[in-house]
Structure 1
């Protein structure tokens, strides 16, 4: 992300030691580490969310292509045609029921 070399880190640490002092430098380093960790986790969460959205869009495009090439109604009609011939016909719901008025 940032292109910081060893020399730059050395200069930053010397300046921090002079400005902050040796007593508060460990606390400053710990706090800076916590902030860097939080920033990395936040960037990671955003990246994962973007990846999920991209995968969802790709899946939608694939499903749209499949729906255009082989519509669900055609699949259901083909599937129900072979199933109805194997099953005996059932009586309609109105037959055999009593009217309770």
Structure 2
């Protein structure tokens, strides 16, 4: 902004006193003060609005970068899943073809997703074990 030293302020006050006279000088000073406050307030509003817009742009840029990173990670995970899925599908096809008469072409990779190994259940005792527990009382 404009630099006004003390000497310049005194010179302006003397010129205003000579031009306006002592009766109109206080009213002119109040008017000049009010005008200066409005200018400063307007300048502060413009500056804060510009800062807000810059912050919004920064947030939008960060959001776009985050979305791009998320999309690239999602694509990378899909590729990794496909790389893991293919050998598993082949292994399941080999196991199914060796255990059944069904041709290998009948097994699709979608069959692999629902495939679970069939393990024999451990046999449970047919009768529950009971402990001989008679109440022990003190006579």
CA distance in 2, matches of 1:61, 1:18: 58
SS at match of 1:39: helix
Counterpart of 2:26 in structure 1 is: 26
> TM-score scaled by structure 1?
0.70
> TM-score scaled by structure 2?
0.51
CA distance in 2, matches of 1:3, 1:28: 21
Counterpart of 2:99 in structure 1 is: none
CA distance in 1, matches of 2:33, 2:5: 18
Counterpart of 1:57 in structure 2 is: 57
Residue 2 of structure 1 and its aligned partner are, at CA, apart by: 1.0
CA distance in 2, matches of 1:49, 1:43: 10
Residue 23 of structure 1 and its aligned partner are, at CA, apart by: 0.2
Counterpart of 1:38 in structure 2 is: 38
Deviations 1:25-78 (A, max 9, x none): 00000000000000000000000000000000000110000000003xx5xxxx
After superposing on structure 2, the runs of 4+ consecutive aligned residues of structure 1 that deviate more than 6 Å are none
Counterpart of 2:92 in structure 1 is: none
The count of residues paired between Structure 1 and Structure 2 equals 72
